[in-house]
Structure 1
Amino acid sequence: MTNRRDFLKNAGLATAAAAGASTLAAPAVHGQTQIKWRLQTYAGPALAEHVIKPAIDDFNKVANGEMVIELYTADQLVPTGELFRAMQNGTIDAVQSDDDSMAAPVDVAVFGGYFPFATRYSLDVPVLFNQWGLKEIWEEAYGEVEGVKWLSAGSWDPCHFNTKDPIRSLEDLKGKRVYTFPTAGRFLSRFGVVPVNIPYEDAEVAVQTGELDGIAWSGITEDYTVGWANVTPYFLTNNICGAWIGSFFANSEKYDALPDHLKTLLKLAMDSSHYYRQHWYWGGEAKLRVEGTKMQLTTIPDAEWQTVEDAAQEFWDEIAAESERKARVVKILRDYSAAMKKAGRPYRYS
C-alpha cells in the first residue's frame, strides 16, 4: 500500500510539473521527464546484494537522472510464481529470475533454473547462449508471447543439497522434503525426493519447523549468504547441475520506449551483473568448502551417483519429445557436452 500511495503521489506531482512546463517551455518537457522502472528479482535481500544490486546501483548512477530502476526482492511486490504475468500486464516493468520458477508460458521454461546436468561449469551458460544458439531460441520463444521481452541470460551457482541429516547414499534421499525448482523437483522425485514449493524467504524457517528436510536450490555460497547454513548442518558435494540459468526480462512496451542509449546502458548493467556472479560464486564455492565452519561435507560415491546422471539422459529424452523446440535445445546440450568431453582438460575432466 505504501508503494502504491507513493506511486500515485509521484504520478500526480509529475503530471502537475509537466503541465506547468508545457505552458512555459514546451520543447523541454520530454528532456525533464525521468523514466522509472520497478524491477523485482527472485532473490531475497541478502542474496540480491550480490546477484543484482551492484549492477542496478551503477545503472542508476550512470543514467544521471534520466532513468531510475527501483529494485524489489523476492515476493516483495508479487509472488515469484506470478512475476511473468505481473510484468506482462505492466504491474512491474522488469524481472530477474529463471523461466521455470516464474512460470513463464514458453516451452523453453523447463531449461531455466536447474535443468538436470545441462551444465558442468558456470562458463557453460554464456557459451551455450552466445556461441551455441540458445540465445536465438530464447528470442524465438519469447517472441511468440505478448508483452514480455527476454533480454539476457547468465549463470549462477551449481545445485547441491543442504540438509538436516547427512546424505551419503541415494537411499538417504528417499522421503526427504526438499525446497527446489519445479523441473529439478520433477526429476528428483524419481529418487524419492518430495519437492516442496514455498516462498524463498520462508525456506529457513520451514527447515527449523520441520516442514522441510533440506534445500536443493543453490551452492554453498548462497547457503552461507542467506542463512541456510545456520539450519542445515550438512552439504552434499554431488550436484545435479553445474550452474543455474537465470535471465533478465522486461515489459516489451516499456523496453521499446527506451531511447537507444539507455537500452545500451541496461545491457552493460546486465553484463556487469553476469560477470560479478561468475567470480563471486566460483570463488565462494571453493573457499567455503575448505574454510567454512557451519556445514559438514558429505558425498555419494561416484559409481552410485552415476545412476542419477544416467537417469538425466532419459529425462532429457522425455523433455525433447514434448516439442520440436525443446528437442532443438536438448540436441544443443548433447552436442555441447560431447564437444567439451572431446576437448578434454580443462573443459571436462571426465
Structure 2
Amino acid sequence: MNRRSFIRKGAVGAGFAGLATMATPALSQNKIVWRMVTAWPKNFPGLGVGAQRVGDRITEASGGRLTVQVYSAGELVPALQSVDAVIDGGAEMSHGAAYYWFNKSPALNFFTGVPYGMTARELSAWVRFLGGQEIWDEIYGQFGIRGFLSGNTGTQAGGWFKNEIKSLDDIKGLRFRTPGLAGQVWSLLGASVTNLAAGDIFQALQSGALDAAEFVGPYNDLALGFYKICKYYYTTSFVEPGLATECTVNLKAYNALSKDLQEIIRAVCQAEYEQVTSDFAANDPRALEVLVKQHGVTAISSFPDSVLEAGAIASKQLLEELGDKGDALTKKTLDSFTKALNLLSIKTDTTDVNFIEARKKYFRL
C-alpha cells in the first residue's frame, strides 16, 4: 500500500462547515441513507478497512434499505471530531475509538483500553455479559448517541523510538504521541505526551516535533512508515493490552429505524469485532517480519523491568484517582470494570497463560 495515498485522503478537512450544507438522511421508497464519519485514513489496514466493511455489510444485510456511506478522516470532518458530528446530527454514525473523546467523560477510556487492563476477549466479555454495555449506554446517552464494539487490535506495540529506552531516565522529557489513559501513564513517567490522528504522526516525527510515537502495531505501523525515522520498535505495550474500536450511532436516527435494521447494525458491529481482531492477529506478525528483515528495524520485545514496574505503579495511581475524584458515572464504570477484570483474569492467568507458557517451552511444529 502507498503510505502517501491514504494519508493524503486522511488529512484534516474543512470540518463541520461542510456538514451544514448537507441534506438530511435520504428516504426514498422506504430506503434510508446514513453517513458514517471515521477517525481513520481511507483504506487504512485493519481500522479503515474495518469501518468500510461495517458500512458495506449493513447496506448488504439490509438489502439496501439502510445504505451507509463511509467517509474517511477529513472528508467531512477531522478525524478527532467524528463523534461530535454524530452528537450534532451532522452524521448518523461514526467509527473511531472511545478514548479519543475522554474529555467528554473519563469513563469512556474503559471502552477502548486501560493500562494493565483487559485483553480483547476480556473486554468483549465485560461489555457483552458483565454489565459494560449498559454503563456505556448510560454514558453516551447523555450526548444522544450509543456505542457498539466494532473491532479490537489485540495487545498493541509499545511504540517507535529514535533512541533506545534503557531506563526511566530516558523517558524524562520524551515527546511522545500516545492517547487515552496510556498517555497519562507515560506523562506520570516523565514524558511530554500529545495525541495526533494517524495521518499526522509521520510528519511530526520527521520534523522533530516528536521523539517517539505509538499507534497500533506492525500492521498499521508498516503502512504509516514510522520505520523510516525510528529504528527502535518496542513490540509489546503495557498500557494498551486490547484496544477496541467503536461504532457510534445518533440515538434519534437509530430509534427511528425498524427493529430489524437496528438488529442488523448491532449484529454487524459484533461480527466485525471478531473480524478485525483476527485481521490484526494474522497480519501483525507478517508485518513485523517485513519491518525487521527488509527495513532493518530493531524489534525489542519488552521495555526494561524498571519501566514496566513504574508503569504499573503509575497505572494504579491513575485509576485510584479516577475512583476518588471522578464523577459518579466514572466511579460506576471503574467499579464494574475492576470487578469484571478480577473475575475474567482468573481464566486468563490460570488457564491461558499456563497453556501458552507450556506451548512455548515444549511444543513446536
Q: What range describes the TM-score normalised by the shorter chain of this pair?
A: 0.7 to 0.9
Amino acid at match of 1:192: G
Amino acid at match of 1:335: K
Q: Alpha carbons of 1:233 and 1:337: their partners in 2 closer, same or farther (altered >3 Å)?
A: same
Instruction: Report the Cα distance in structure 2 between the residues aligned to 1:104 and 1:304, rounded to whole angstroms.
Output: 27
Aligned to 1:195: 193
* Percent of aligned pairs with the same amino acid: 18
Question: For residue 314 of structure 1, what is the amino acid of its counterpart?
Answer: Q
> Which whole-Å CA distance do the structure 2 matches of 1:42 and 1:11 have between them?
22
The residue type equivalent to 2:260 in the other structure is H
Q: Which residue of 1 aligns with 2:82?
A: 83
Q: CA deviation at 1:37?
A: 0.8
Structure 2 CA distance for partners of 1:287 and 1:345, relative to 1, 3 Å: farther
Asked if the contact 2:39/2:197 (under 8 Å) is kept, the reply is no
Number of matched pairs: 331
1:1-350 paired onto structure 2 within 5 Å: 32-45=29-42, 46-47=44-45, 48-103=47-102, 105-119=104-118, 121-143=119-141, 145-152=142-149, 154-159=151-156, 160-239=158-237, 240-290=239-289, 292-293=291-292, 294=295, 295-298=297-300, 299-302=302-305, 304-321=307-324, 322-343=326-347, 344-348=349-353
Instruction: Specify the SS of the correspondent of 1:274.
Output: helix
Aligned 8 A contact 1:55 1:273 in 2: yes
Q: CA, structure 1 residues 260+334, in 2 after alignment: closer, same or farther (shift >3 Å)? A: closer
Alpha carbons of structure 1 residues 348 and 320: separation in structure 2 relative to 1, 3 Å: farther
Cα distance between partner residues in 1 of 2:345 and 2:251 = 39
**SS of 1:217 mapped into structure 2:** coil
Q: Which moved more, 1:238-247 or 1:186-195?
A: 238-247
Q: CA RMSD in A?
A: 3.0
SS of equivalent to 1:35: strand
Question: TM-score when scaled to structure 1?
Answer: 0.83
Q: Is the 8 A contact 1:84 1:103 kept in 2?
A: no
One-letter amino acid of the counterpart of residue 321, structure 2: E
Q: Counterpart of 1:19? A: none
- Give the greater-gyration-radius structure (CA): 1
Compute the displacement of 1:218 (Å): 1.5
Stretches of structure 2 that go unaligned for 5 or more consecutive residues are: 1-13, 358-365
Deviations 1:115-138 (A, max 9, x none): 22222x321220121122211111
Q: 1:146 to 1:334 in 2, by over 3 A?
A: closer
How far apart in 2 are the matches of 1:61 and 1:333? 35
1:85-124, CA deviations, whole angstroms, 9 ceiling, x for partnerless residues? 32112111111122221356234123243322222x3212
